[in-house]
Structure 1
Amino acid sequence: MLTITRALYDQIVAHARADHPDEACGVVAGPAGSGRPERFVPMLNAARSPTFYEFDSGDLLKLYREMDDRDEEPVVIYHSHTATEAYPSRTDVSYANEPGAHYVLVSTADTDGAGPFQFRSYRIVDGEITEEDVEVVETY
């Protein structure tokens, strides 16, 4: 199960809304080994596409160095789907290389960026997709 604060949930949805009609993407980092998402890190979709997202390699390297310096890890890796449901595509699965992360998808399809939004979380390990419950809490 993914437990996430209302503030982080709202930030992810706001990022998806702001980048619509392009896909939004980013990371929520947390203390290594805690499984607790804490630090929202919106990223630029280098592909600038409504059907595909790609982290900028320089930005991603900088983020991983920063997380290493802060003893953090990517707890949530998120992106939006602008024309389809919030379910991982084959491409999403092929890029899922953090087996400990929660992969969150927000769908802005049929909303023109205004909502309501599908907000779903998955574990993706060795190409296998498992949907998990999301619990939104006010604080940890």
Structure 2
Amino acid sequence: MPTLLDSYIENRHRVQPNHANTVGTAHGGDVMKWLDEVSAMSAMRFAGETCVTARMDPIEFHRPIGVGDIAVIESYVYDTGNTSVRVRLTADRENPRTGERERTTTSHAVFVAVDENMKPTKVPDLMVETERGENLRAAALESREP
């Protein structure tokens, strides 16, 4: 049975000028795309099936990510249903020279596992076996929209 940490993915994107909006920071649409892609990877890794986005909760942009910064996208499954998984997603900006990080974006998403005929299929139960996993799950539940 997969664990929360089995679904944990951290990915990085260097923010280039082609990702920028008119004020020189990462375009929100690019950040949203990166969040969706990485969270889908977490969902599929956990479910062992193709997963499709069913819902994105409000995406909160707390601060910008500048051109030249690194966008660090983190995601993990923190809850399951019969055919669905809930994924916590965050983005941080990281200074490429110092590694200093600051939270920029937060959200949650729901994915549905589908079979080869695009029919919803059962997902495994979530196991949380470590203190780190418990802390990540607690943080996701605490930050979830009502």
Q: TM-score scaled by structure 2?
A: 0.29
Q: TM-score, normalised by structure 1?
A: 0.30
